[in-house]
Structure 1
């Protein structure tokens, strides 16, 4: 086992906190002031990872920390036998996470192995407001760029093929029959595909669910990808967010579709190595768990 001395792991922990604070600190300030942000708050309100958890650095399974009392009390950690003052992620804890590791590996590998679909054009956000009045939408503080009738017309004039259950489940009732797919929470590996913006953002969710078993640098990489994807997600949404500095991606036009697909393709390319790293981490941790179970 590699053991990090206090000066080294504390420097890594401080660098990690500083890296994510560029996004965490403004969110906390808005929360204190009770100001909502429809783009940047999403990663903290939709996902269950709290800001303090995101800021906390973990070295990942197989790396020990000397003189790390604050880590010793965290879930999943234990003292390393025969190494005075060293704590690390407990292999027994890794073994207890086998169901999670296996299910995440299956989902991530299936997604990576599926052909990318670049024809959805972000219409999931439009289907979430279909046939709603403007004061009934999820972001009612922000107007619909084309108005309610114009938004409905865009939904009705396009083929909707949302493959991501956690987007599809927020469709309005009239919009659900318009979707060509019927994803459920139980069959994600059969539907999710690597060009989907929500599948890309969910790499952050998968990464933090693997904490503290994986190094927090990988969680931060996935967080930054999700942060950037969310901006495209909302620029292509029906809301008018120009007062926040977001120029719309007008997916109802041929030019807007081209812009969306180009950005979507770039995010799929960024997400591919992160998805692959998460698969590799799941496989590594499953091997650790197998050793523990074998005794």
Structure 2
């Protein structure tokens, strides 16, 4: 069950990128990029429409006047910077045909168009769900740099640890119903989480030792007649009901400073045994980029 309340100011605008965005049919790429209720987006739509109409009939005096009016609104609403930003973002994301209907795009192209829309829209909070899916390494690196300079707040969910390390300055960890907050990037998170887990293990060791002593006291036949003795029995029951820290038993791989280099992973004389059985014996392998 997921429930709760989200309270925000009415003036706060939130942009949300879905992991697998579904774009509305009937729109071109440019129409979708500029969709939105802000004055800047409305101005950009009017300007692009006037520009397109005049390109189709350049001698039409009415269309020339419409373009001049649209240009005046661009000046009034300070929309030229947004127009330049939109073209830059589209270019960096590899979106070249802005007249193409969005329903004709592939999954990867839809993700890029959706990212472009989210980045261009004026927003106080940008929420990104797996933003690096369907993106190549060069585009991801550009997005990292862009988000590092983003004027609003960014909240993201991603399995890309390198991306987390480059972009974030605060990490939330949800584990066994508890939420932990760490100030810093992914490297700091790993360090602070290890410290937290070590402290939890020390606390659990103390609990187990205390529980053993109290249980030994009970086994000696202590009589629960006094208030003090009743309190000690209650403490034993409370200690027994407490849950100690859990261990996932997962194997984690440290990440380097680059996603791909001349080699992806190299194994040298790897042997794995479990329960007295050898699963892997003296395994060596080199995997390079492009191999499957």
TM (normalized to structure 1)? 0.21
Which of the pair is proportionally richer in helix? Answer: 1
> Which has the bigger relative contact order, CA under 8 A and spacing at least 6?
1
Which of the pair is proportionally richer in strand? Answer: 2
TM (normalized to structure 2)? 0.21
